[in-house]
Chain A
Amino acid sequence: MSDVVVATRGLTRRFGAQVAVDDVDLAVERGSVFGFLGPNGSGKSTLLRMLLGLLRPSAGSALVLGCEMPRDAERLRPSVGYMPQRFSLYEELTVEENLRFAGRVFGLFGRRLRDRLDAVLAEHELAPQRRKRAGALSGGWKQRLALSAAIVHEPKLLVLDEPTAGVDPQSRRAFWERLFELAATGTTILVSTHYMDEAVRCHRLCMLRDGRRAALGPPSALLHALRGRVVECRVEHIEAAIARLAGAPEVASITQLGDTAHVLLAPGAGPAEVAAETLRGRLEAAGFSGVSAAPGTAALEDVFVALMRGEQLETDAAGVAGGTP
């Protein structure tokens, strides 16, 4: 594990009586895209800020790129790019002025600064907007600018706190493609999100619940832990059917996906095929017509829902949930 660039042990942060981050152990490998998934208030931003040395931990330790946080925070800064949750560049400055400022505070100047500016402007297709004030940009362009500013100095570690909030799907997709390009060059990326479709793209994922690490591992392993736990029902009057099934003992959660009722089975509900039959029987007994029910595939959202319900997912070979980081 010599290529671990971020390692935490027992990392904890309290705000008064409230524990925002509670005893989190992590290890992030170089060149990986490491995601933090959790609902609002689960401690994602607090955790990232502690890793950046912007918040002092109440307990525990964090070693980032060989720097002990927050003691060596200043030594770490030149190697890190940070894109806070809120747009945090200067709205009065143009795109180019913002990028030049970012480059200069990270110590770039002269030829190298010019080259890097041209490179990030080209990579993010910002060149046509370079003379536009940042405040006049739309959400997607602001996000591109913020990412450009965070990587203008080619950091070894890139920290992104909910970078795609309020951005359209196409821009989000393009954004993630750029992240993977960066990761391919050896940049380690820490990214927090509450979008499942984004979380599933990460190499590894840490799910947070009330500041505690609820699960850790590659998304595929997390999904694997829920194999055989999903049933999909089709039926006429689907809203009424969902209301009917919501209280059934086999059902952990049920939600509508288009014309389908997506059911996460309760842990003791037995094999999915059997549970599907049971659910179909329940609906038909209640007078619903046109019922079909079959095992389905788990989505990351199911993992999320299961964890938020307080379930401990079965650990498997990939080291999911509670396993060593």
Chain B
Amino acid sequence: MTVRSSRARLALLRVAAVAHKELLQLVRDRLSLGFIVGIPSLQLLLFGYAINLDVRHIPTAVVDQSQTALSRKLIGELAATQTFTPSVAVRDEREAMRLLGASEVGAAIVIPPDLDRRLYRGRGAEISILADASNPTVAAAVAAAGEGLGALLASRAQPFVVPGQVSVALRPPPEDRARFGPEADAVREGSLRIAVVPFYNPERRTPVFIVPGLVGVILTMTMMLMTALAVVRERERGTFEFLIATPVRRSELMIGKVLPYLVVGQIQVAIVLTLGALIFDVPIRGSLVDLALGAGVFVAAMLTLGLVISAPARTQFQAVQMAFFFFLPSMLLSGFMFPFDAMPEPAQWIGSVLPLTHFLRIARGILLKGAPLSALLDEVAAIAVFGAVTLTLAVWTFTKRIG
């Protein structure tokens, strides 16, 4: 009995000794301590801001070929749903498709030139909403808004609703008829159809949307860590001291550290895309050379960011924590999981700085929409600027000195 209880006491003593030692180590590691407070706060704020499946304010191109009071009224009604924010007026569908392809807009409203005439003559007219369905959440929101507007018009216009179609009979109520002018009496029952046309991922399959994004997410995590750890490892193992006493210049060291991983990054892209195509049937509609070029710029930016992280990190553990600190907003605010346009503006500002946001548009644009890289140069430029800033920072913070 006494032997057993004293054994238990000794065991407790040892557990307490280990726990106390851990606590001391933790308190002495200021950076890790900071992350203990920082990561939950950041996570809460980011998740709170980013998780918003209620998509609103999709930037929308307007192709108003009719240019009548009725067409403007209909556009106003669509904007009033708050799902669409008319952001640019274009001449024809081709131009609208180009903007969709370049991810400059998420939807386009196309109003035919003969809208009024067809309606008033009872022949029926159709408004098309072209939707970027590569993101299933956005596509669902556009479809819902289209249907919603159809229902709204129906309620105002003594309709008969054709079930299953977004289609109403349009006959304005008496108080509205004056607005159609002298022709009002001539208005007969006609139907206005709002047709939502989903592009790029018409079946709204989630893997089609996620896999191109995963390319970016995987590159973000691995590439940033590769260079960060490569430098910190040298410091931890003591090889750094030999290295900095050689004639190798800072810039030479950085470029030499980055180069092999540019190739590693492309191998990762190839693996994800091959598996995505084979297993999830993800399309590759654009040029793989374009994708490789875009991925190259993105990988370079992530690698230089890793070098920046390596400067303050004293241990590999700290480097991983710092990488995580950057990775989290990249995942949440880039549009990888949650629709970018649905986030509040401050979150969008942060998101716009993150290279992943722009690379997602490049990857989805090329893979799902078949867009050429030349249509995505804004996104490439945004990543390149980030890369230039991190490279400058990396060279600036890296010293060939100890202490």
Contact = CB atoms under 8 A, between A and B. Distances in A.
B41 interface: no
Given A49-B402, A54-B402, A56-B401, A88 B241 contact: yes
B402 A74 contact: no
Given A74-B247, A105-B248, A54 B242 contact: no
B238 A105 contact: no
Nearest to B401: A54
A107 to B, nearest CB: 7
B237 interface: yes
Give the top 10 A-B pairs by smallest Cβ distance, nearest first.
A88-B242, A86-B238, A82-B245, A77-B247, A84-B241, A105-B246, A88-B238, A88-B239, A78-B247, A105-B248
Contacts of A107: 247
B249 interface: yes
A72 B402 CA distance: 16
A216 interface: no
A175 interface: no
Contact of B246 (A15, A49, A70, A77): A77
Contact of B245 (A80, A90, A91): A80
B244 interface: yes
Contacts of A91: 237
A149 B246 CA distance: 11
Nearest to A20: B403
Interface string A293-321: 00000000000000000000000000000
B98 interface: no
A106 interface: yes
B400 interface: yes
Interface of B: 237-249, 400-403
Chain B CB within 10 A, most for which of A52, A54, A86, A89: A54
A70 B240 CA distance: 18
Given A77-B247, A91-B237, 6 more contacts: A74-B247, A82-B245, A88-B237, A105-B243, A105-B246, A106-B247
11 contacts: A53-B401, A54-B241, A54-B400, A55-B403, A56-B401, A70-B401, A77-B246, A88-B238, A88-B240, A88-B241, A105-B246
A102 B246 contact: yes
Contacts of B240: 88
Interface in A46-62: 49, 52-56
Contacts of A87: 238
A209 to B, nearest CB: 22
A82 B244 CA distance: 10
Most buried by A among B239, B241, B400, B403: B241
Interface residues of A, number: 26
Contacts of A90: 239
B401 A74 contact: no
A106 B238 contact: no
Nearest to B246: A105
A105 B244 CA distance: 11
A73 B237 CA distance: 23
A270 to B, nearest CB: 48
Contacts of A149: 242
Given A54-B401, A73-B400, A105 B241 contact: no
Nearest to A86: B238
A52 B247 contact: no
B242 to A, nearest CB: 4
Nearest to B248: A105
Interface in A72-114: 73-74, 77-78, 80, 82, 84, 86-91, 102, 105-107
A187 B167 CA distance: 93
B212 to A, nearest CB: 35
B401 A15 contact: no
B259 to A, nearest CB: 15
Nearest to A78: B247
A282 to B, nearest CB: 48
B249 A74 contact: yes
Of A74, A82, A88, A107, most buried by chain B (CB within 10 Å of CB) is: A88
Interface in A196-247: none
Contacts of A55: 401-403
Interface in A129-168: 149
Interface string A8-49: 000000010000000000000000000000000000000001
B113 to A, nearest CB: 70
A50 B158 CA distance: 90
A152 to B, nearest CB: 11
B395 to A, nearest CB: 14
A89 B239 contact: yes
A147 B237 CA distance: 18
A52 B249 CA distance: 15
A54 B246 contact: no
Nearest to B247: A77
Contacts of B245: 52, 54, 77, 80, 82, 84
B242 A84 contact: yes
A88 B238 CA distance: 5
Contacts of B247: 74, 77-78, 105-107
A62 B251 CA distance: 26
B252 to A, nearest CB: 9
Contacts of A49: 402
Contacts of A88: 237-243
Quick one: which of B238, B244, B245, B248 has the most chain A CB within 10 A?
B245
B401 to A, nearest CB: 6
A82 B402 CA distance: 14
A322 to B, nearest CB: 29
B231 to A, nearest CB: 14
A87 B400 CA distance: 18
